[in-house]
Amino acid sequence: MTDTQTQIQTMSFGKALNAGLRKAMQDSDRVLLMGEDIGRLGGVFRVTEGLQAEFGERRVLDTPLAESGIVGTAIGLAMSGFRPVVEIQFDGFVFPAFDQITTQLAKLTNRHEGVLSLPVVIRIPYGGHIGAVEHHQESPEAYFTHTPGLRVVSPSTPNDAYWMIQDAIASNDPVIFMEPKSRYWPKGEVDTSARALPLHASRVVRRGTDVTLIGHGAMVTTLLQAAALAEAEGTSCEVVDLRSLSPVDYGPVLESVRSTGRAVVAQEAPQHTSLGSEIAATIAERAFYSLEAPVLRVSGFDVPFPAAKLEGSYLPDADRVLEAVDRALAY
């Protein structure tokens, strides 16, 4: 469905990514797509569907099953003036490429004193909620946010998916583009005429007065569900979507916490030494005198991601978020 006057379209998150990739490829013939089964098949999640037929096999490359080789090739292409976009088929498959990403991609620009740019985007479907097997449901974002030299982002809506993938491709720095796989199918409005926010801006997606709920990716949907349930019980929750995980735009986060006096940080990843822990520590440092309660965290557990039948017990849901809200309000 399209509104021709405002150029607002309704599409799924996955289709919005597809449209954003297509637009970037139309704008520059230096943009190349690389990955396992992304060409003829269109990717496991069909994000690249139709792009090989439109742009050809020289710009949408089906690669061998060799993540280190894929990323290494992308680095070489970037050094030669291209803008490669790499798809890692599932989150757990990224680790064979970890050395290339963290010791080469993240460091080469600094090693060359800023003269060399590496405009590489690495797309990683991540997170749970799809009942997948081992290595197919993980949340590895903290590995990359901990690595200097990498930008890390995660859209939560189709509109952000459409614009953020284009902004990531336009960046002269390497970008780890985390795609919450459970959000590939739900639809939303996409304004193809104007971007809403810069790539690394966080935003308030629901206003409230009692508690600030902070998250990224698929967790934003869970936080909005929790906020709606809390409102029915007389508690007003404000929800902040981080969007960018490195760097983090703390302005809206701190402004919200200073207003509400309470904060709950939620994520699917394990809690120990996580991004959520860093967010909580920064709030405690920079908004300490506004806090009416400790900053609380809701996360996956510090165990390997379980079998599909147990994921409902592992992943934070609205009830676990509401438990933290109740604890924050009890202080």
Question: Active-site positions?
Answer: 136
d(CA 321, CA 305): 19
Structure tokens at 159: 């509109």
Dmax (CA) for the chain in angstroms is: 60
User: For residue 74, which amino acid is it?
Assistant: A
DSSP-assigned states of every residue in 7-73: TEEEEEHHHHHHHHHHHHHHH-TTEEEEETT-SSS--TT-TTTTHHHHH-TTTEEE--S-HHHHHHH
| Bridge partners of residue 188, in order along the sequence | 11
Give yes or no for a contact between 32 and 84, defined as CB atoms under 8 angstroms apart: yes
From its phi and psi, is residue 191 left (phi > 0), alpha (psi between -120 and 50) or beta? beta
Q: What percent of the chain is helix, strand and coil (3-state, nearest 5)? A: 40, 20, 40
d(CA 329, CA 23): 46
d(CA 91, CA 221): 20
Cβ neighbours for 196, distance < 8 A, ≥ 6 positions apart: 159, 160, 163, 203
Coil, strand or helix at 188: strand
User: For residue 94, which amino acid is it?
Assistant: V
